[in-house]
Amino acid sequence: MDGFTLPDDIVELARRVVAENSAAGRTIALAESCTGGLVAAALTEIPGSSAVLDRGFVTYSNESKMQSLGVASDIIETFGAVSIACVWAMAKGALEQSNADVAVAISGVAGPDGGTVQKPVGTVVFARAIRDAEGEPEGELKHFDAKDRGAIRREATRCALELLLP
């Protein structure tokens, strides 16, 4: 990936995530689908990220979500991969499969195809799970009106990084 660069605002946000989580003594795990590792890539651009980033899972297929993160097939069959229920399970699975204190999961429809009336292109869901916290992980559904696949993935990366701030 010679010459690969991320937008400055994403790099700056990743710098804050690394600095603030390091100061808090907190480690993180990622479960990425539509972002395909962009969140982890942003974090690893930052010196010192190895003290914060425990691991990342890129689970693009439904099968990988089930095998790597323990997402139940019932969740995917009932709600779909782009659902709060799925990203909750992904975030919980990332915590269970890691030594991290917090996990963020992302799944969405980056386009240009794959959208439906219920889940159009630009629909992205996020969840954050914190180890030993009571209750369900936090979940959020967003719709990005970005013009292309790359822009949707960058917007999703920004949101995921914001969720990683302590």
Convert the pLDDT of each residue in 11-66 to its tens digit. Answer: 999 999 999 999 999 999 999 999 999 999 999 999 999 999 999 999 999 999 99
Is 86 within 8 Å of 79 (Cβ atoms)? yes
Is 139 within 8 Å of 82 (Cβ atoms)? no
Distances (CA, A) of 72 to 65, 84, 95, 128, 129: 9, 13, 16, 18, 17
Task: Supply the DSSP string of 28-80, one letter for each residue.
Answer: EEEEESTTTTHHHHHHHTSTTGGGTEEEEEE--SHHHHHHHH---HHHHHHH-
| Angle, in degrees to the nearest 10, between helices 8-24 and 149-163 | 20
The CB density around residue 54, as the number of other CB atoms within 10 Å, is: 19
Confidence of residue 5 (pLDDT cuts 50, 70, 90): confident
All domains of the chain in start order, with CATH: 8-163 (3.90.950.20)
Confidence of residue 128 (pLDDT cuts 50, 70, 90): very high
At residue 147, does pLDDT exceed 90? no
Instruction: Write out pLDDT tens, residues 63-112.
Output: 999 999 999 999 999 999 999 999 999 999 999 999 999 999 999 999 99
The tokens for 105 are 């999961």
Q: Mean of the pLDDT values across residues 138-150?
A: 92
Residue 136 has a pLDDT of 80
Amino acid at 91: A
Distance CA 130, CA 103 (A): 7
Confidence of residue 1 (pLDDT cuts 50, 70, 90): very low
Confidence of residue 165 (pLDDT cuts 50, 70, 90): very high
pTM for the model = 0.95
Is 108 within 8 Å of 90 (Cβ atoms)? no
Residue 139 has a pLDDT of 94
Amino acid at 49: S
Is 39 within 8 Å of 157 (Cβ atoms)? yes
At residue 3, does pLDDT exceed 80? no
